[in-house]
Structure 1
Amino acid sequence: MSDVKLGNPAVVGLGGFGLSTILLQLHNLGLCGLGPVLAVGFAFGGIAQLCAGLLEHKNGNNFGFAAFSAYGSFWISIGIIWVLNYFGMYKSSTTDVGYFLIGYTFFTLILWFASLFIHSAMATTFSILMVGFILLDLGHFGFPAMNIAAAYVLIACALAAWYMMGAIIINDVAGRAIVPVGKAWLKK
């Protein structure tokens, strides 16, 4: 039983995070409708990423457990906000969403600090994500142009997450490190 190799749930979590984030930012730039964002956000960004988080828990990876579960829940929550707004059941204002984003900014700050101890690719991804959340916070509290800046920053973040996903997959199938992830920015 211990000889069975299990897949790394991070590939699904990073994949879902990346695709959902790219689609939302394309929407924010006016290039994509909300329908695909909502569908992928619920399915791949939300449910699949949440499942990846639960599997990281089983693997004993607190960082992956926290990150994938929280950001999977983010996608499900933001999808619910959009649906409630669409049907007029509960209208969330720009600042309502802003407070939601501020909560995730503080959560991301904790994960950003922890990412500095993992590897360069993780620290880079979380550094970019931190900047993206701060820009979104500003965009929802009186500086709407920051949402456009955030879109470009968060596309870079999604691509960084996909880089890590690619590194995990390619290095695994190659049986050696071909795609580098770099050293931790801080020593344990």
Structure 2
Amino acid sequence: MSNGENPKGNPGVVGLAGFGMTTMILQFHNVGWCGVGPIVALAFIFGGLAQMIAGFQEYQSGNNFGYSAFVAYGSFWIALGVIFILNHFNIYHSNTRDTGWFLIGWTLYTFIMWIPAMKIHSAMAVTFTLLLIGFILLDLAHFGYPEMVKIAGYELMFCALSAWYMMAHVIFAQVFGRDVLPVGRPWIR
């Protein structure tokens, strides 16, 4: 930049990319298109580690929403990866109900984050609304309605795409110097 500023990257682009990619591939599994191998790898590295690093960078910038969301959902992915591995090796098996209670905890956290998401902008509100609906569908799937897994899978693909849209918004705005992909007004003023 000619004015001597030293621009810094926005950690949100990595956090949103990791969340979107790992969410998308898990949904490919949930609808029956792939196994769990790619999910475990992504859960530890991109959805987990990279998203947590982005969260810690959000902390440095003073963004508590990004800090909480990226560190928490990064932890979610690592924990889910651990559940898959423990189940695979039958070290400590989490049955459907156990996993359901795990998901209910994340549903409650997502509900809390959904409220401030509506104050940020429409794209964030849409992403968290879709995530909350997806968790509710998965909760139902784990407590007696297994057909909801596939429905959640398709619904959460839109959540992943919404996260990628926000990532692209930030990257395109910097590269093109203008708002190429608008994110819309907040739902709560």
Q: Same fold (TM over 0.5)?
A: yes
Aligned Cα root-mean-square deviation (Å):
0.9
Counterparts of residues 32-181 of structure 1 (less than 5 Å): 32-181=34-183
**Pairing 1:23–2:25 present:** yes
- Distance of 1:177 and 1:29 partners within structure 2: 35
What is the identity percentage for the equivalent residue pairs of Structure 1 and Structure 2? Answer: 55
CA-to-aligned-CA distance 1:32-65 (integer Å, 9 cap, x gap): 1111111111110000001000000001000000
Instruction: Give how far 1:20 is off.
Output: 0.3
- Distance of 1:177 and 1:127 partners within structure 2: 23
- Distance of 1:161 and 1:22 partners within structure 2: 10
- Distance of 2:185 and 2:30 partners within structure 1: 34
Instruction: Give how far 1:126 is off.
Output: 0.4
Corresponding residue pairs, total: 186
- Distance of 1:91 and 1:41 partners within structure 2: 18
Q: Structure 1 runs of 4+ off > 3 angstroms?
A: none
- Distance of 1:81 and 1:37 partners within structure 2: 12
CA-to-aligned-CA distance 1:9-47 (integer Å, 9 cap, x gap): 000000000110110010111111111111111110000
- Distance of 1:111 and 1:119 partners within structure 2: 13
Please report the TM-score for the alignment, with normalisation by the length of structure 2.
Answer: 0.97
What stretches of structure 2 of length at least 5 have no aligned partner? none
Instruction: Give how far 1:3 is off.
Output: 2.9
Q: Which moved more, 1:27-36 or 1:10-19?
A: 27-36
